[in-house]
A = this chain, B = another copy of it.
Amino acid sequence: MSDRRGLLIILSSPSGAGKSTLSKRLIEWDPDMSFSVSATTRPPRKGEVDGVDYYFKSQGEFKDLVANDQMLEYAEVFENSYGSPKGPVEGAIEAGRDVLFDIDWQGGQQVRASSLREHVLSIFILPPSIKELERRLLMRAQDSKEVINKRMLKSRDEISHWVEYDYVLINDNLDQTFEQLKTIVMSERMRKSQQPHLMGHIRTLNAEFEDR
Contacts and interface: CB of A to CB of B under 8 A. Distances in A.
Chain A binding surface, main DSSP class: helix
A184 B188 CA distance: 8
A113 interface: no
A104 to B, nearest CB: 17
B167 A201 contact: no
Contacts of A205: 126-127, 129-130, 159
Q: How many copies are assembled?
A: 2
A16 to B, nearest CB: 13
Interface stretch (A22-30, A36-44, A189-197): A189-197
Contacts of A191: 166-167
Q: Lowest 3 A-B CB distances belong to which pairs?
A: A187-B187, A130-B208, A184-B187
Nearest to A131: B208
B212 A192 contact: no
B152 A165 contact: no
